[in-house]
Amino acid sequence: MYLMMGINFMLLNKSLKSTCLGILFTFINIGCGNANTSLFSCPDPFIVDGKSYPLINASLFDGPVENQGELVPRMTKNTREWNIDPRMDPYLVCHFNKVKNTVVLHVAGTTQCTVNENPFTVQCH
């Protein structure tokens, strides 16, 4: 089993009009034999200047967020799920309580993103 890290993400203001900051973030690629699984997830909590902000929502876009191509998930009682076509260019947007910034993850190469409501988690694989 090995661990590989690396992903770029951006902090965007709530209006999604301008980029506040680009930061290196982490994704985990876990290899087991010949099977590889990439996992992207929203940070929870998001910490700014020593203050902690819990994850409260997520959305998925086909293409950069500023193009406004938000995708509609398949919804059940406790989950939201997006199946991602290989031709898509998916971006996951993570929203946090009481903070204007969002975290945007370019989740290229994933086939599905899931939001679980209880406990609130967001993962793409």
Residue 24, pLDDT > 90, answer no
**Of 118, 88, 115, 90, which Cα lies nearest the Cα of 104?**
90
**Which residues, other chains included, contact 50 with Cβ-Cβ below 8 Å and sequence gap of 6+?**
none
Q: How many CB atoms lie within 10 A of CB 121?
A: 15
The mean predicted confidence, pLDDT, of the chain is: 76
- 35-41 and 46-48: which strand pairing? unpaired
Q: How many domains, the chain?
A: 1
As a whole number of angstroms, the distance between CA 83 and CA 12 comes to 24
Question: By residue range, what is the domain housing residue 106?
Answer: 3-124
Residue 62, pLDDT > 60, answer yes
Once rounded to an integer, what is the mean pLDDT over residues 41-61? 94
- pLDDT score at 39: 81
- pLDDT score at 45: 92
Residue 69, pLDDT > 80, answer yes
As a whole number of angstroms, the distance between CA 65 and CA 90 comes to 9
Q: Which of 5-19, 88-102, 110-124 has the lowest mean pLDDT?
A: 5-19
Percentage of the chain surpassing pLDDT 70? 70
- pLDDT score at 37: 52
Once rounded to an integer, what is the mean pLDDT over residues 71-75? 96
pTM, two decimal places: 0.70
Residue 113, pLDDT > 90, answer yes
